[in-house]
């Protein structure tokens, strides 16, 4: 029971927020943006924790998901729920192009993905007949009303995102707890050792990349229909790569709830507290917070709470 | 002379050494034997300041405050197992690093020649990355690297590990020669017979304690055997 | 069971294995000896798939496996240990075995893992982090345990006995015999200790500079002058 | 009576330079307005949108929930777009002077107003070209949103006017422009280089031109070029360069309002007014007056502001301001100013010129 | 056409030399310590702003700012190292995040102090055009080229001939073993960071003299530098120089032969191709181990 306490607390908070702030478009807007980051942070952490791959380029999946969904819903008239799914699939499909990068390790992989993100961004700018180029792409459908719930309203979007984040967290948990998850954990630092006992490392890693891209694309697509405006600089902005990393690390990227809570907290801290204290250059506070966190609690907020599992890595000497 | 008194050391939650006291008298070869996991390697690592520890370590009667690099300057050198080579550096670079302490940089070229003469295989492979060497070759690098620094006190951890019988004989030949040159040596060795053939004094460790200390000439092999198999316990001095 | 035909491996200019051919039968315990750098580990790497040979064929259970990826060979029943132990990082000892079992043997059987832990004297370390909390000999036992967990038909052991004190060594040898019996294992073992090879193996092959220079019973092999010269040295140094 | 309004500006991020200038102009307008009469007091809350759409959207939501009567928009169509959408949904009047995309007025938002547009910039440049009649024009344009839009528009309209036009779009990450200028020099051989970009690009492009010395007759640019600041920072590069503006420098403001603006601006920030701050000043004045009128009529709470905004028709330092059905200001047109020894006379169109163009107009 | 290509080849080489200058610092800390200093771009930028301060206050040549720039970058560099040094777990990943955070702090500090204006040199001497035959350049570009060649040679010599170079790599290869060699890991790593500071200060001043700086430039510099480092292959200092020139020339050629909008695209594609087909980089001799 104790182990599920953080999850339960988060769930209660998630339910309480619309009850308390439901009328406040501002707070709900911040929550929605925070949850978008949370979804991407979860996807990033999944790849980082299970796949052992640090990515600097999740913006690629985010942007592709956003554009795919927006274009399909506007130009092909696909209903938005389907276009969201298509966006996620589009992002996953794109990650297939990145499979060669799986051969690379550590920073090389991170940088290769960054290069892909750049390439996709430039393509979105140059293929202006499809994407509208740098002028941007607007006038595509908002989130629909289904069964009486208007998902384009702040509270509606919020509810949708909470459910989606929760679903993704459950998928993540299932993978992590499976034997596949255990094998993946080992693979990051001892690839040969895992392969000689029969683990098909490349395949498992590919699946993780695909899954991570899928989730990121899904959130990119949802964000597009919430903001209702796309342009390459925004959809492929480095922010979509960087913020989730900060959030995940802050919350604890080896945990599942860490990235989620980290994203929301960081986002709210930055927008509500930091902006109040320092109207210009408030990110300096974010930087300080992050640096402090890494030094004081390298395993993140949730890592702090977690009782150290027996056999967890610990510093020798 | 190197001496430890009441040494305790361990890794995080696990304590390995319990009040170990022993001496490495100048110019002598002190062998340490004992079953696996007894804490022999840990003893050497603690001596070199690689493992946090309590208790006193004295060099020539003066306590040292375990800075590894100060020990190296003072001529105390450890040869670790072959796993501890610099994997992504070449054999030549590994050996060159052996001569890092100020006092032996001058003589680097000469010492390198000496090492290459003892292990011709290393000369052949001087540009190969140490990480791709065979197990035995890596062991030779570790040994050669230790000799690059002209040790005054040399602590060697299982030099015969993974070496072919011919090479083992050569390595012990080298150890004998070093001893003859006046180097104080501490040696961990599983093969009691080989150890006894070069040692002046022998200590048996078990479960983080020194159980038996004897002069090499008067070793009671049966006693040793019993202790290995843990039929007896308690500190024994001979 | 296992057959190598003219296997050659090169690293740049270095010929690490030169047209090596041999075969071994079901349930055999084969000793593989030779001087340092002779190519023993390379041979294991080639069989298990870490190194691609330039030429030659590798047959396992009458199947050409030379082109199969690492994991596929493991699933066919090839278990191996690493000379420099390579535990799976971030996993406990037990998790190491579980992964090996699930992916290598294709089934999850906790009881069997407990048994292996017991046999390999790792039970008390079962919940330690494999990569950072074990001493060298424990790591070596873990290597064997992992290989066993994949349910192998052929076990490639690379110097798992090196550095064991004599009593432990004897115990280990007895254990290997027992495993060999119980699971009808074929074993290839690399070892520098002549006694061990003599007492454990029915047959030994000798590599020198990548070439197979002797094949026969341990007694025969260790009496072979070429072997004495390159490997064991003269009787007394 | 105190009326609270809100604004979102890019005070940090890629558009921070323009955002700062906008903020200053807006602050001056508030001060000028509050001092000009004593019945109403306008109070503005500014939120940094960090040059990001999502942040701008939440800013609008926050301002709305804090009770802002109307919203002054920031800079950049990609940011103003979603922000004004939100504002529209919330039923709040939204006015901007920093978003020129045509898309914005095609959405049918009822609460959206803007005082400038792409067409205005185009008109200014087209006028100049028709006066100069160059044999060819090379447009060097950033692929960022606003510059790309202007470049596209100009390429079409100038071609239609019979000019030979070559477009060189460049990635914003570019720092060395010599290869582009070299193409202009050796392939295009045109007489005019037109730059549609931002300050750092201008410096790079003009430097490259100074090194390669193509046979052009004038270097012309869009916004943020013909400003006193650019001259004082880079005097050697700016001499004779022409850019869009509406005020000569030193400011020769003929109308009272402009003079007042310049004086208060100097007092508050210790520098001369510039282009972006003027835009912000005008939009803020227009909004303030409409707010005051609605408050006087007692309709502020009941949506009277919208009607008052639509009735706007006033002169301004930018020329006449009115809003058409979609909220655009059809009168917007810019002049072209030329850097000359620290001064910036207006050289085109002839009607508003304060000096004669130096042609060929080159910094070397 | 020939003239066109000639000039763009030349321009590409000059731009490449600045890429090299910026990259050397990253190559040093990454190649030697496996630590990617994501704040390196900001260090360079900081140095550039020091050049601006000196030039605008005193009217001296920006190169006169190198001592001041060095003092500042070295201090910041030391601070970065002292913080990294405190990281015990997952050093490679966590130092990435830490230096990223420091980069954010520096970017915003620069923004607060220097505002968001664009800055560049005003020195007529540095901006003047020179022609070498039929190709043209600014004085500052030629100077930067020479400086970067010298700096590269200096760094190469240092890594080769001082004990530090080898020692730093030993520390990153196996910390415990390096201590057994008598190496004080903190001392050699600190030295590496100080040298990276020197490199950043020179790069920043050169950048200021031939290009335009603004507070948001840092991350772009870091990424470009890192791309060059990987392209070169870890551990090869001359390789960094060659890879940087190659990248510069490729970009310039893209502009000339295709469109300048594709410059970055082609650069990235080149990078990926090298990464996939030559995982050790163009000049990296060392095997990359997982
Ligand atoms: N890094 C570590 N973390 C935790 N425990 C360790 C570590 N290294 C060694 N140990 C433990 O310390 C004990 C002693 O190890 P040590 O390596 O000193 O033994 P040893 O006498 O050298 O044995 P061997 O003959 O196997 O080399 C072992 O029981 C081992 O489990
Ligand atoms: N990747 C590699 N690159 C270059 N040379 C290599 C590589 N791997 C192995 N070698 C060389 O090939 C030879 C054979 O090595 P191998 O590890 O097979 O020897 P071994 O017989 O296992 O020796 P040992 O008994 O010392 O473990 C050695 O000389 C080694 O240095
Ligand atoms: Mg040991
Ligand atoms: Mg071997």
Location of structure tokens 């509208």: A132
Q: Are residues B63 and B160 in the same domain?
A: yes
Q: Contact partners of A by the rule of 3+ C-beta pairs under 8 A?
A: B, C, D, E
Cα of C128 to nearest chain A Cα, Å: 5
- Separation of CA D66 from chain center: 29
Q: Are residues B93 and B169 in the same domain?
A: no
CB distance from B155 to chain E under 8 Å? Answer: no
Closest CA to D184 of D159, D154, D144, D216: D216
Residues A50-60 have a mean pLDDT of: 87
In Å, what is the CA distance from E288 to each residue of D41, E159, E275? 68, 20, 12
Residue E165: partners with Cβ closer than 8 Å, 6 or more residues away = E32, E158, E159
Closest CA to E84 of E30, E42, E10, E130: E30
- Could you state, in order of their start, the residue ranges of all structural domains in chain E? 21-215
Q: Are residues B171 and B217 in the same domain?
A: yes
Total number of residues shown for chain C: 237
Instruction: Say if A243 falls within a structural domain.
Output: no
Instruction: Say if B80 falls within a structural domain.
Output: no
Residue D89: partners with Cβ closer than 8 Å, 6 or more residues away = none
pLDDT exceeds 50 at position B232: no
Least confident range from B34-48, D52-66, D346-360: namely D346-360
Q: Are residues B55 and B120 in the same domain?
A: no
Q: Is E154 exposed, middle or buried (0-12, 13-18, 19+ CB in 10 A)?
A: middle
The stretches in chain E having pLDDT less than 50 are: 287-290
Instruction: Say if B141 falls within a structural domain.
Output: yes
Partners of C9 in the beta sheet? C17
Q: What is the CATH number of the domain that holds B48?
A: 3.40.50.300
Instruction: Say if A286 falls within a structural domain.
Output: no
pLDDT exceeds 50 at position B233: no
> B149, B181, B201: which is the final residue of a domain?
B149
Query: Given an 8 Å threshold on Cβ–Cβ distance, is E272 in contact with A291?
Result: no
pLDDT at position C190: 94
Partner-chain residue, chosen from A179, A190, A199, that has the shortest CB–CB distance to C89: A190
Is the CB of B132 inside a 6 Å radius of any atom of ligand 2? yes
B76-94 residue pLDDT tens: 999 998 778 998 889 999 9
Location of structure tokens 């491996």: C9
Residue A118: partners with Cβ closer than 8 Å, 6 or more residues away = A57, E264, E265, E268
- Is the distance from CB of D105 to CB of A160 less than 8 angstroms? no
Q: Are residues B69 and B156 in the same domain?
A: yes
Residues D159-177 have a mean pLDDT of: 89
Query: Given an 8 Å threshold on Cβ–Cβ distance, is A288 in contact with E100?
Result: no
Eight-state DSSP code of residue A99: G
Q: Edge-to-edge strand order for the sheet containing D192-196?
A: D165-170, D137-142, D192-196, D218-221, D242-245, D335-338, D346-348
pLDDT at position D1: 74
Distance in Å, CA B43 to ligand 3 centroid: 9
Query: Given an 8 Å threshold on Cβ–Cβ distance, is A316 in contact with B11?
Result: yes
Residues A211-226 have a mean pLDDT of: 94
pLDDT at position D253: 65
Partner-chain residue, chosen from A189, A198, A311, that has the shortest CB–CB distance to C103: A198
pLDDT at position B235: 44
Q: How confident is the model at residue A3 (pLDDT cuts 50, 70, 90)?
A: low
Residue D9 structure tokens: 């500006």
Query: Given an 8 Å threshold on Cβ–Cβ distance, is C75 in contact with A199?
Result: no
DSSP D128-162: HHHHH--S-EEEEEESSHHHHHHHHHHHHHHHHTT
Instruction: Say if A311 falls within a structural domain.
Output: no
Eight-state DSSP code of residue B217: G
Interface test with B, best of E176, E181, E234, E236 (most B CBs within 10 A): E181
Q: Are residues B168 and B219 in the same domain?
A: yes
Instruction: Say if A105 falls within a structural domain.
Output: yes
Sign of the alpha-carbon torsion through D103, D106, D110, D116: positive
Instruction: Say if B66 falls within a structural domain.
Output: yes
> B149, B177, B198: which is the final residue of a domain?
B149
Sign of the alpha-carbon torsion through A277, A279, A280, A285: positive
Round to whole Å and give the CA distance between B167 and C232: 9
Q: Edge-to-edge strand order for the sheet containing D41-48?
A: D41-48, D2-9, D70-72, D93-96, D112-114
Q: Are residues B94 and B132 in the same domain?
A: yes
Ligand number with the minimum distance to the CA of C16: 2
In Å, what is the CA distance from C152 to each residue of B178, C40, C184, D124? 46, 20, 10, 82
Instruction: Say if A274 falls within a structural domain.
Output: no
Least confident range from B214-228, C26-40, D77-91, D98-112: namely B214-228
Q: How far apart are the first and last CA of chain D?
A: 57
pLDDT exceeds 90 at position B144: yes
pLDDT exceeds 60 at position B150: yes
- Residue of chain B whose alpha carbon sits nearest to that of E169: B89
Instruction: Say if A280 falls within a structural domain.
Output: no
Distance in Å, CA C37 to ligand 2 centroid: 5
Tally of domains within chain A:
1
Round to whole Å and give the CA distance between A228 and A244: 21
pLDDT exceeds 90 at position D284: yes
A75-95 residue pLDDT tens: 888 898 999 999 999 999 999
Is the CB of C156 inside a 6 Å radius of any atom of ligand 2? no
CB distance from B142 to chain C under 8 Å? Answer: no
Helices marked H in E162-180: 163-173, 175-180
Total number of residues shown for chain E: 290
Instruction: Say if B71 falls within a structural domain.
Output: yes
The Cβ of residue E133 has, within 10 Å, a number of other Cβ atoms equal to: 7
Tally of domains within chain B:
2
C1-13 residue pLDDT tens: 899 999 999 998 8
Chain B and chain E share a number of CB contacts under 8 A equal to 74
Q: Which domain holds residue B191?
A: 2-75+151-237
Round to whole Å and give the CA distance between A168 and A47: 13
Instruction: Say if A131 falls within a structural domain.
Output: yes
Pairing of strands C63-64, B29-33: unpaired
Eight-state DSSP code of residue E262: G
Assembly ipTM? 0.84
Q: Which domain holds residue A78?
A: 2-238
Q: What are phi and psi of D311, to 5 degrees?
A: -80, -10
Closest CA to B96 of B77, B80, B115, B81: B115
Q: Are residues B144 and B169 in the same domain?
A: no
pLDDT exceeds 60 at position A309: no
Is the CB of B41 inside a 6 Å radius of any atom of ligand 1? yes
In this structure, what is the dihedral angle of CA atoms D261, D266, D272, D278, given to the nearest 10 degrees?
-30
Helices marked H in chain A: 5-21, 25-45, 58-75, 80-97, 106-126, 128-131, 154-177, 179-187, 191-195, 201-227, 232-235, 239-251, 257-268, 275-277, 283-296, 300-305
Q: Is C37 helix (H, G, I), strand (E, B) or coil?
A: coil
Quote the mean pLDDT of chain B: 88
Closest CA to B163 of B143, B188, B145, B149: B143
In this structure, what is the dihedral angle of CA atoms D257, D259, D264, D270, given to the nearest 10 degrees?
150
> B149, B173, B200: which is the final residue of a domain?
B149
pLDDT exceeds 80 at position C236: no
Round to whole Å and give the CA distance between E171 and B88: 11
pTM for the whole structure: 0.86
pLDDT exceeds 70 at position A314: no
Partner-chain residue, chosen from C36, C40, C237, that has the shortest CB–CB distance to B163: C36
CB distance from C10 to chain B under 8 Å? Answer: no
A84-131 residue pLDDT tens: 999 999 999 999 998 888 888 777 888 889 889 989 998 988 888 888
Round to whole Å and give the CA distance between C158 and A216: 45
Atom number in ligand 2 closest to CA C43? 18
Instruction: Say if A186 falls within a structural domain.
Output: yes
pLDDT exceeds 60 at position D26: yes
Phi/psi zone of residue A63: left (φ > 0), alpha (ψ -120 to 50 degrees), beta?
A: alpha
Peptide bond connecting C235 to the previous residue in cis, omega within 30 degrees of 0: no
Ligand number with the minimum distance to the CA of B16: 1
- Is the distance from CB of D22 to CB of D277 less than 8 angstroms? yes
Is the CB of C42 inside a 6 Å radius of any atom of ligand 2? yes
């Amino acid at each position: 029971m104790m182990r599920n306490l953080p999850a339960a607390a988060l769930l209660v908070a998630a339910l309480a927020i619309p009850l308390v702030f439901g009328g406040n478009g501002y707070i709900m807007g911040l929550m929605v943006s925070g949850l978008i980051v949370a979804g991407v942070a979860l996807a990033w952490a999944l790849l980082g924790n299970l796949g052992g791959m640090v990515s600097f380029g999740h913006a690629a999946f985010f942007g592709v998901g956003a554009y795919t969904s927006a274009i399909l819903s506007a130009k092909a008239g696909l209903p938005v729920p389907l276009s969201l799914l298509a966006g996620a699939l589009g992002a996953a499909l794109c990650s297939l192009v990145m499979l060669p990068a799986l051969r690379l390790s550590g920073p090389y992989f991170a940088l290769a993905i960054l290069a892909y993100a750049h390439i996709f961004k430039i393509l979105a700018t140059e293929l202006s007949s499809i994407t509208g180029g740098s002028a941007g792409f607007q006038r595509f459908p908002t989130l629909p009303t289904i069964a009486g719930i208007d998902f384009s309203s702040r509270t509606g979007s919020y509810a949708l995102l909470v459910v989606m984040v929760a679903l993704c967290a459950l998928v993540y948990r299932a993978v992590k707890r499976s034997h596949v998850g255990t094998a993946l954990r080992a693979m990051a630092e001892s690839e040969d050792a895992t392969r000689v006992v029969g683990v098909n490392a490349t395949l498992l890693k590919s699946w993780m990349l695909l899954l991570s891209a899928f989730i990121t694309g899904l959130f990119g697509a949802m964000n597009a229909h919430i903001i209702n405006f796309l342009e390459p600089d925004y959809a492929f902005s480095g922010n979509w790569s960087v913020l989730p990393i900060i959030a995940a690390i802050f919350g604890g990227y080896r945990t599942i709830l860490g990235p989620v809570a980290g994203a929301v907290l960081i986002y709210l801290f930055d927008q509500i507290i930091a902006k109040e204290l320092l109207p210009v250059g408030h990110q300096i506070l974010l930087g300080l917070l992050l640096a402090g966190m890494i030094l004081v609690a390298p395993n993140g907020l949730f890592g702090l709470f977690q009782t150290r599992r027996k056999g967890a890595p610990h510093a020798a000497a | 002379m190197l001496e430890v008194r009441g040494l305790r050391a361990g890794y995080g939650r696990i304590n390995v050494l319990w009040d170990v006291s022993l001496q490495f008298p100048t110019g002598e070869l002190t062998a340490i034997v004992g079953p696996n996991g007894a804490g022999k390697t840990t003893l050497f690592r603690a001596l070199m300041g690689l493992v946090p520890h309590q208790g006193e370590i004295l060099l020539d009667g003066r306590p040292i405050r375990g800075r590894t690099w100060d020990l190296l300057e003072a001529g105390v050198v450890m040869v670790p197992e072959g796993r501890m080579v610099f994997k992504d550096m070449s054999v030549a670079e590994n050996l060159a690093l052996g001569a890092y302490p100020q006092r032996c940089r001058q003589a680097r070229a000469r010492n390198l020649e000496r090492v290459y003469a003892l292990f011709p295989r290393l000369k052949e492979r001087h540009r190969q990355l140490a990480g791709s060497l065979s197990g035995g070759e890596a062991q030779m690098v570790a040994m050669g690297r230790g000799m690059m620094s002209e040790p005054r006190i040399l602590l060697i951890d299982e030099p015969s590990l993974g070496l072919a019988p011919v090479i083992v004989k050569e390595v012990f030949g080298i150890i004998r020669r070093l001893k003859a040159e006046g180097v104080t040596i501490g040696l961990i060795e599983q093969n009691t017979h080989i150890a006894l053939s070069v040692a002046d004094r022998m200590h048996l460790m078990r479960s983080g304690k020194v159980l038996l200390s004897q002069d090499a000439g008067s070793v009671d092999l049966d006693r040793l055997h019993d202790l290995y198999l843990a039929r007896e316990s308690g500190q024994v001095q001979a | 069971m296992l057959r190598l035909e003219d296997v050659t491996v090169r690293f740049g200019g270095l010929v690490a294995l030169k047209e090596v051919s041999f075969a071994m039968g079901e349930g055999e315990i084969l000793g593989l000896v030779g001087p340092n750098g002779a190519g023993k580990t390379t041979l294991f790497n080639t069989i298990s798939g870490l190194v691609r040979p330039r030429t030659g064929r590798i047959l396992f259970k009458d199947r050409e496996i030379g082109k199969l990826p690492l994991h596929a060979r493991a699933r066919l029943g090839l278990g191996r240990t690493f000379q420099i132990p390579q535990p799976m990082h971030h996993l406990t000892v037990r998790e190491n075995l579980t992964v090996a079992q699930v992916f290598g043997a294709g089934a999850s059987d906790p009881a069997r893992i407990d048994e292996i832990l017991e046999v390999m004297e790792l039970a008390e370390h079962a919940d330690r982090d494999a990569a950072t909390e074990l001493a060298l000999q424990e790591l070596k036992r873990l290597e064997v345990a992992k290989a066993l967990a994949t349910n192998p038909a052929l076990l490639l052991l690379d110097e798992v006995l090196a550095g064991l004190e004599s009593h432990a060594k004897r115990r280990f040898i007895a254990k290997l015999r027992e495993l060999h019996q119980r699971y009808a294992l074929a074993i290839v073992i690399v070892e520098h200790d002549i006694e061990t090879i003599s007492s454990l193996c029915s047959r030994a092959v000798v590599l020198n500079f990548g070439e197979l220079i002797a094949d026969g019973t341990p007694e025969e092999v260790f009496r072979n002058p070429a072997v004495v010269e390159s490997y064991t040295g003269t009787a007394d140094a | 009576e105190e009326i609270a309004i809100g604004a979102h500006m890019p005070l940090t991020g890629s558009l921070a330079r323009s955002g700062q200038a906008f903020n200053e102009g807006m602050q001056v307008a508030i001060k000028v307005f509050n001092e000009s009469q004593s019945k109403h007091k306008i109070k503005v809350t500014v939120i940094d949108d960090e040059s990001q759409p999502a942040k701008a959207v939440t800013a609008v939501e926050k301002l709305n929930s804090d009770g802002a009567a109307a919203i002054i928009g920031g800079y950049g169509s990609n940011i103003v777009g979603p922000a004004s959408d939100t504002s529209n949904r919330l039923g709040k009047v939204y006015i901007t002077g920093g978003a020129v995309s045509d898309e914005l007025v095609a959405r049918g938002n009822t609460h959206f107003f803007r005082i400038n547009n792409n067409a205005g910039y185009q008109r200014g440049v087209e006028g100049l070209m028709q006066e100069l009649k160059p044999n060819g024009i090379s447009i060097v344009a950033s692929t960022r949103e606003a510059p790309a839009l202007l470049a596209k528009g100009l390429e079409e309209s100038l071609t239609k006017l019979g000019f030979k036009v070559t477009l060189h779009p460049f990635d914003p990450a570019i720092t060395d422009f010599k290869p582009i200028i070299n193409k202009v020099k050796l392939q295009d051989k045109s007489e005019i280089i037109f730059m549609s970009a931002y300050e750092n690009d201008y410096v790079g492009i003009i430097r490259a031109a100074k090194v390669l010395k193509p046979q052009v007759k004038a270097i012309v640019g869009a916004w943020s070029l013909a400003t006193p600041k650019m001259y004082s920072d880079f005097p050697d590069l700016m001499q004779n360069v022409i850019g869009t503006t509406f005020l000569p420098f030193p400011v020769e403001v003929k109308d009272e309002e402009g003079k007042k603006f310049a004086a208060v601006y100097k007092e508050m920030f210790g520098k001369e007014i510039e282009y972006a701050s003027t835009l912000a000043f005008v939009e803020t004045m227009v909004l303030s007056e409409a707010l005051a009128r609605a408050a006087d009529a007692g309709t502020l709470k009941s949506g009277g502001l919208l009607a008052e905004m639509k009735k706007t028709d006033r002169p301004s330092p930018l020329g006449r301001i009115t809003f058409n059905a979609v909220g655009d200001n059809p009168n917007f047109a810019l002049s072209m100013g030329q850097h000359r020894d620290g001064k910036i006379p207006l050289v085109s169109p002839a009607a508003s010129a304060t000096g004669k163009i130096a042609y060929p107009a080159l910094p070397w | 056409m020939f003239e066109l290509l000639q000039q763009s080849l030349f321009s590409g080489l000059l731009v490449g030399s600045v890429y090299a200058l910026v990259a050397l610092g990253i190559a040093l800390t990454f190649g030697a310590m496996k630590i990617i200093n994501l704040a390196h771009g900001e260090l360079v930028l900081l140095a550039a702003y020091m050049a601006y301060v000196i030039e605008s206050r005193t009217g001296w040549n920006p190169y006169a700012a190198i001592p001041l720039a060095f003092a500042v970058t070295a201090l910041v560099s030391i601070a970065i190292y002292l913080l990294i040094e405190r990281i015990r777990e997952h050093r490679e990943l966590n130092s990435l995040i830490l230096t990223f955070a420091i980069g954010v702090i520096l970017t915003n500090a620069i923004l607060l102090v220097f505002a968001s204006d664009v800055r560049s040199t005003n020195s007529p001497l540095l901006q003047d055009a020179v022609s070498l035959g039929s190709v043209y350049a600014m004085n500052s570009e030629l100077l930067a080229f020479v400086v970067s060649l010298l700096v590269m040679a200096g760094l190469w010599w240092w890594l080769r001939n001082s004990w530090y170079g080898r020692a730093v790599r030993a520390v990153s290869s196996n910390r415990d073993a390096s201590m057994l060699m008598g190496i004080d890991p903190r001392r050699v790593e600190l030295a590496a960071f100080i040298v990276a500071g020197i490199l950043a200060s020179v790069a920043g001043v050169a950048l200021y003299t031939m290009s335009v700086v603004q507070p948001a430039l840092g991350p772009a510099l870091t990424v470009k530098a890192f791309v060059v480092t990987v392209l070169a292959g870890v551990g090869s200092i001359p390789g960094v120089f060659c890879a940087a020139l190659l990248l510069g020339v490729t970009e310039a050629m893209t502009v000339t032969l295709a469109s300048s909008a594709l410059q970055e695209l082609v650069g990235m594609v080149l990078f990926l191709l090298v990464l996939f087909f030559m995982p050790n980089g163009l000049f990296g001799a060392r095997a990359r181990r997982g």
